Structure 1
Amino acid sequence: MTVTRIQGRSLVAGRGQGSLLWADQGLSFWGGVDPFSAEVIDRHHPLSGQSLAGRVLAIPSGRGSCTGSSVLLELILNGPAPAALVLAEPDEILTLGALVAEQVFNVQLPVLCIGHAAFAELEQHAGSSVHIDGEQLLLAADAAAAPWQPEPLAPAQQRQSSLSLNARDRALLAGEYGQAAQVAMQLVLRMAELMGATELLDISQAHIDGCIYTGPACLRFAEQLRDWGAQVCVPTTLNAISVDQRRWRALGIEPRFGEPASALGDVYMAMGAQLSFTCAPYLLDSAPALGEQIVWAESNAVVYANSVLGARTLKYPDYLDICIALTGRAPRCGAHLDEGRRAALLIEVQYPPEPDDSFWPLLGYHVGLLAGRNIPLLTGLERSAASSDDLKAFGAAFATTSAAPMFHIAGVTPEAADVTHNLGDQAPARQLQVTLADLLNSWRELNSADSAEVSLVALGNPHCSASELARLAELCEGQRSHPDTVLVVTCGRAVHEQAMAAGHVTTLERFGARLITDTCWCMLGEPVVPPGTRNLMTNSGKYAHYAPGLVGRQVHFGSLAACVEAACSGRNARVLPAWLGSHQPLGSH
């Protein structure tokens, strides 16, 4: 039997074997993989419908949600997990899920990075049996001809960090601040080494995304830290959790889900985190300032903090966020540094004469697909007068389809006063154009519904801002929702209080809308999504992407005004907006 060996970099050590499942597109495990069955549920992904269970998954990298690490941990601890992960380039989110399984629960799932050239060659071996053995991937010309006999791995040695540590770092690592902080520091150092950092830096605040309930493993992890005496050492906010903590029973959520999901939020608050429960922490009074070093998880929040506020954070995976909050120390690399915030991709955008608000999430979705892990700089939008809500919608959709921690828009975002300000003397690696014809293709991709019916209008992914609720109330004033259509809005508690004081909540409830706090659409299912619903409508590029896989419904995507019209009529006209093309039915060409 002829065996081909591909040498790689072991991100998480171990051995595994199984049939090779290969794709040339990154995959977000959150919203893309069912944490209980291991089925790929991202209906826009080439592996949609495939099972990862017992297979060696080969993808270029992860993408999308920071909660991918939590989903991977669920699969590893509760089954059915992949046999191994093979990546073209290092991915912090997926690697961290496997590291937590190894470090905290002593269960290994190998993660191997082999580079783009070797990764491309793997395509011809899709479906074949492959083996991961430490830093090697083994391909057998006739895998069935002989059993696999892996060579023994060297015995595990006490890890010595290669990073430069200060006295407090060493004290944390020695357990002088307690077991929770010690384990947290061990994970921080493992990830810092994988990221190529040589030292750590102090951070001023953290935002925890690991409070999203993906299954028993995430609660088990948080309870273990709490039982070890975990206490955050920097101001720490919490992301949207998986239920409205005050009203989940009234909303009809089953206790088998509602109780652990609510308990997870309580566990993080017991560690000293604030009761914020929002996926848009940039709307809070504690939002960071330009240049502030922070640690945020939640993909849309990371992108907004870096790009719009000019704060500095990596796209931190779930669990690493709380580890850094417990230690106050983060890897000094990537977007924390000037050189890690430079654009590698220049994109010229065709800006339409009079776009509506659907332009921004659509553009973000499309640009994210083009960018991959590269930070883009967009030109052509200097006269757009983009609002903070526009940039929020753009960033959320961009973070869904890309793995990059930020974007720049020339003349709009703070680190791109003009093209030369961000690029300096360096030409970008690639230059692309985005035309309205390109955006039309993405519009059709997001509009998956094949009938005009709309039974649910889902707004607030990410959480609505006070200005968005004000605009929504203006559109709903004097109207009523269709008896067969429900309009549901998610927002944070702080924004809900502002909208209450302004009278907007009264207007929306008179229309027939329901407002839900604490949770967001990526965590909501039945019965908030009515069981008989076939189609929903949203103005969120992020939710338009995830909803078919998460809740099994087809999607209408459009502007906020179009969403209100659909809520009133129970139907979506299914025509292109004027800025994108002539008013023709979506199915026509």
Structure 2
Amino acid sequence: MSSALRQDIGIAVVPGDAAGPVITLGEPLSFWGGVDPSSGRVIDVHHLSHGASLVGAIVLMPTSRGSCSGSGVLLELALSGKNPAALVFAGPEDTLTLGAIVASEMFGRRIPIIRLSEEAFAALSSATEATITLDGMVADGGRIRVALTTAAQEVLQLSAADRHMLDGNDGIAAQQAMRILVAMASQQGARALVDVTRAHVDGCIYAGPANLVFAEKMGELGARVRVPTTMNAISVDHANWRHQGVAPEFGEPAARLADAYVRMGCQASFTCAPYALPDPPGFGEAIGWSESNAVIFANSVLGARTAKHPDFLDFCIAVTGRAPLAGAFLDEGRRARRAVRVELPEGADSAAWPLIGYLVGLASSDRIPLIRGLARTQPTRDDLKALCAAFGTTSAAAMLHVEGITPEADSLGGNPEEEVVITREDLAAGWRKLSGGPPEVDLVAIGSPHASLDECRAVAERLDGRPLAAALSVIITAGREVVAGAQADGTLARLRASGVDIIPDLCWCSITRPVFPERAKVVLTNSGKYAHYGPGLSGCAVRLGTLDDCIEAALTGIVPARLPAWLS
């Protein structure tokens, strides 16, 4: 390592001391669905480091990706003592950083977060062990040295009302929320905070005690939301979990977590598709949303403005009505930085959209893309939902633009000089990657994100009252509003006549056994998001299929892995 590099200065975003072996992840990782919160082991079967333990290690990765709930997983690991010793990134990162901020601010558990230049990050990647102190990093017995400084806070300008909260004049909970907001805004380089009109809380999924500890502690401090605040899907069907055989040791804390947020003023919406609720955000509206698919849909399809807020920060925003003025709140943070051209075959149907989202995320994992080649398509809102959700599993970006389709593609899509092409062959390879597995199917999973009423009707129409194959389950997860609509128009009765279960409140990324059938070993889904996360979350083979595949599996129990007709 050169002497110039030895003088390179990194930023201690969350300062602290740590020592341990160096583990370098060659690609970003979502901690939610990618790391087991009970063991600290990588469970994302699609990740290069699948199976690795991160406990006690100095973990290097370019940035995180995927779910906003990664902050909750890191807090869970911190409270159980199974956390990485430190996290080192090659650039800006929000989700795990926020988890470390909350662990330090509220629970006294310090996990250093370090940000390095690409050159210093590359050098450290070759190390076997490292030690971090407040003023520097030393690796391999002094072979690599990097000085550290703290993130500057003087750029952040607070309003009088902000300072009023920060000084504790609006109560301890608002003060705590503002402290976390200020710490986050400072590391993002924000110059101010911005008012938001509404919030959406993602941290109500029970992945372990940490989320419940956070929520109940904020409740004890007197927290109340200041803006209308919806809630993400939770981990149980709130009214029916006892009848469904869910063990009390899981069901009770999961319900308590939901109830804690409702007591603090959140709406019991319990959906991961808040954009489908009545009165969705309007174009240009500043909102404080979490949940990756919801954030990407709000920014990309609705033209609302929100950063991809990590869990816990979303509630701090709801309590204060303020958010860091950074990222996708700003025009500069919404501009496309890479073009991705999709060579879409003629005849492509709705099954193309989750596949495109997944592959575009891989092709533009760290920046907002402008997707080209789709202008002649006529996607439905459900198609765009599938696109945004799958993109959010493989990219860290808060939004995307689709040329000729999304509202800001002309103004902020720009004309990026760098272009990546996704060919027909790439599409076929991507489908095979997500669709492989045994032909015998035990469970068909619909509704990740939550199914719309149109999607429920489509399943009912295609089944047309025919019974499901023996020993096979079909489960649709949907929001309460959709379930009520399906009941009102007869769709629910038609689905149940075939043997389909439609379950509110929880979603596929939070479902657990026995609601997830005990016997199920092979799952077929039309969701790119769940095809990615499902194997790690469920321990099952989870295959991507078209809706036609899902219906065929529902009726026969067998669907071989195959390409959609338009890719064959």
Whether these two folds match at TM > 0.5 is yes
Q: 1:227 aligns with which of 190, 209, 220?
A: 220
Indicate whether 1:403 and 2:396 are aligned.
yes
Superposition pairs for residues 533-572 of structure 1, below 5 Å? Answer: 533-572=520-559
How much does 1:432 deviate?
A: 1.0
3-state SS of the aligned residue for 2:530?
helix
Superposition pairs for residues 272-291 of structure 1, below 5 Å? Answer: 272-291=265-284
Task: Letter of the 2:31 partner, please give it.
Answer: F
3-state SS of the aligned residue for 1:85?
strand
Indicate whether 1:531 and 2:518 are aligned.
yes
Q: Counterpart of 2:495? A: 508
Q: Deviations over 1:141-166 (max 9, x none)?
A: 489xxxxxx99x99x9xx97542121
Judge conservation of contact 1:544–1:556 (CA < 8 Å) in 2: yes
Q: 1:10 aligns with which of 8, 12, 30?
A: 12
How much does 1:89 deviate?
A: 1.1
For residues 509 and 335 of structure 2, the distance between their equivalents in structure 1, rounded to whole angstroms, comes to 31
For residues 524 and 7 of structure 1, the distance between their equivalents in structure 2, rounded to whole angstroms, comes to 44
Q: Deviations over 1:280-321 (max 9, x none)?
A: 000001310011000100000000000000000000000000
Q: Counterpart of 1:75? A: 77
How much does 1:525 deviate?
A: 2.3
Judge conservation of contact 2:124–2:139 (CA < 8 Å) in 1: no
Q: Counterpart of 2:480? A: 493
Indicate whether 1:436 and 2:424 are aligned.
yes
How much does 1:377 deviate?
A: 0.5
Indicate whether 1:367 and 2:373 are aligned.
no
Q: Counterpart of 1:106? A: 108
Q: 2:87 aligns with which of 70, 85, 88?
A: 85
Judge conservation of contact 1:6–1:138 (CA < 8 Å) in 2: no
Indicate whether 1:267 and 2:254 are aligned.
no
For residues 516 and 539 of structure 1, the distance between their equivalents in structure 2, rounded to whole angstroms, comes to 17
The structure-2 alpha-carbon separation of the partners of 1:359 and 1:95, relative to structure 1 and needing over 3 Å to count, comes to same
3-state SS of the aligned residue for 2:308?
coil
For residues 306 and 418 of structure 2, the distance between their equivalents in structure 1, rounded to whole angstroms, comes to 24
Q: Counterpart of 1:479? A: 466
How much does 1:573 deviate?
A: 2.8
3-state SS of the aligned residue for 1:526?
coil
Q: 1:327 aligns with which of 297, 300, 320?
A: 320
For residues 233 and 142 of structure 1, the distance between their equivalents in structure 2, rounded to whole angstroms, comes to 51
Task: Letter of the 1:238 partner, please give it.
Answer: M
Indicate whether 1:183 and 2:185 are aligned.
no
3-state SS of the aligned residue for 1:18?
strand
Q: Counterpart of 2:293? A: 300
Q: Counterpart of 2:303? A: 310
Judge conservation of contact 1:521–1:543 (CA < 8 Å) in 2: yes
Judge conservation of contact 1:112–1:135 (CA < 8 Å) in 2: no
For residues 413 and 359 of structure 2, the distance between their equivalents in structure 1, rounded to whole angstroms, comes to 22
How much does 1:530 deviate?
A: 2.2
How much does 1:440 deviate?
A: 1.2
For residues 551 and 429 of structure 1, the distance between their equivalents in structure 2, rounded to whole angstroms, comes to 41
Indicate whether 1:422 and 2:412 are aligned.
yes
For residues 529 and 453 of structure 1, the distance between their equivalents in structure 2, rounded to whole angstroms, comes to 17
3-state SS of the aligned residue for 2:126?
helix
Task: Letter of the 1:140 partner, please give it.
Answer: D
How much does 1:531 deviate?
A: 2.3
The structure-2 alpha-carbon separation of the partners of 1:445 and 1:122, relative to structure 1 and needing over 3 Å to count, comes to farther
Judge conservation of contact 2:355–2:430 (CA < 8 Å) in 1: yes
Q: Counterpart of 2:202? A: 209
Superposition pairs for residues 40-59 of structure 1, below 5 Å? Answer: 40-59=42-61
Superposition pairs for residues 572-583 of structure 1, below 5 Å? Answer: 572-581=559-568
For residues 417 and 193 of structure 2, the distance between their equivalents in structure 1, rounded to whole angstroms, comes to 29
How much does 1:423 deviate?
A: 4.1
3-state SS of the aligned residue for 1:572?
coil
For residues 347 and 312 of structure 1, the distance between their equivalents in structure 2, rounded to whole angstroms, comes to 23
Judge conservation of contact 2:432–2:563 (CA < 8 Å) in 1: no
Judge conservation of contact 1:5–1:136 (CA < 8 Å) in 2: no
Q: Deviations over 1:246-267 (max 9, x none)?
A: 1111222111111001100100
Task: Letter of the 2:430 partner, please give it.
Answer: S
Judge conservation of contact 1:5–1:138 (CA < 8 Å) in 2: no
How much does 1:482 deviate?
A: 0.4
For residues 205 and 8 of structure 2, the distance between their equivalents in structure 1, rounded to whole angstroms, comes to 37
Q: 1:195 aligns with which of 188, 191, 198?
A: 188
Judge conservation of contact 2:153–2:186 (CA < 8 Å) in 1: no
TM-score normalized with structure 2 length: 0.96
For residues 30 and 212 of structure 2, the distance between their equivalents in structure 1, rounded to whole angstroms, comes to 21
3-state SS of the aligned residue for 1:276?
coil
Q: Deviations over 1:378-400 (max 9, x none)?
A: 11111110110000001000001
3-state SS of the aligned residue for 1:131?
strand
Q: 1:448 aligns with which of 436, 439, 443?
A: 436
> Which segment is superposed worse, 113-122 or 91-100?
113-122
For residues 236 and 54 of structure 2, the distance between their equivalents in structure 1, rounded to whole angstroms, comes to 28
For residues 580 and 342 of structure 1, the distance between their equivalents in structure 2, rounded to whole angstroms, comes to 32
For residues 379 and 550 of structure 1, the distance between their equivalents in structure 2, rounded to whole angstroms, comes to 33
For residues 41 and 20 of structure 1, the distance between their equivalents in structure 2, rounded to whole angstroms, comes to 19
> Which segment is superposed worse, 294-303 or 214-223?
214-223
For residues 468 and 119 of structure 1, the distance between their equivalents in structure 2, rounded to whole angstroms, comes to 45
Judge conservation of contact 1:5–1:137 (CA < 8 Å) in 2: no
Q: Deviations over 1:6-31 (max 9, x none)?
A: 63111101011111110220010000
For residues 135 and 36 of structure 1, the distance between their equivalents in structure 2, rounded to whole angstroms, comes to 32
Task: Letter of the 2:133 partner, please give it.
Answer: D
Q: Counterpart of 2:445? A: 458
3-state SS of the aligned residue for 1:527?
coil
For residues 22 and 7 of structure 2, the distance between their equivalents in structure 1, rounded to whole angstroms, comes to 15
Judge conservation of contact 1:7–1:135 (CA < 8 Å) in 2: no
Q: Deviations over 1:163-214 (max 9, x none)?
A: 2121111110111110000010011111111111111111000000011112
Aligned residues: 565
Superposition pairs for residues 376-387 of structure 1, below 5 Å? Answer: 376-387=369-380
Judge conservation of contact 1:373–1:403 (CA < 8 Å) in 2: yes
For residues 93 and 142 of structure 1, the distance between their equivalents in structure 2, rounded to whole angstroms, comes to 31
Q: Counterpart of 2:163? A: 170
3-state SS of the aligned residue for 1:95?
helix
For residues 93 and 450 of structure 2, the distance between their equivalents in structure 1, rounded to whole angstroms, comes to 27
For residues 13 and 301 of structure 2, the distance between their equivalents in structure 1, rounded to whole angstroms, comes to 32
Judge conservation of contact 1:36–1:79 (CA < 8 Å) in 2: no
Q: Deviations over 1:48-88 (max 9, x none)?
A: 11111111111111100000000000001112111111111
Task: Letter of the 2:394 partner, please give it.
Answer: T
3-state SS of the aligned residue for 1:198?
coil
> Please, which runs of 5 or more residues in structure 2 have no aligned partner?
none
Q: Counterpart of 1:129? A: 129
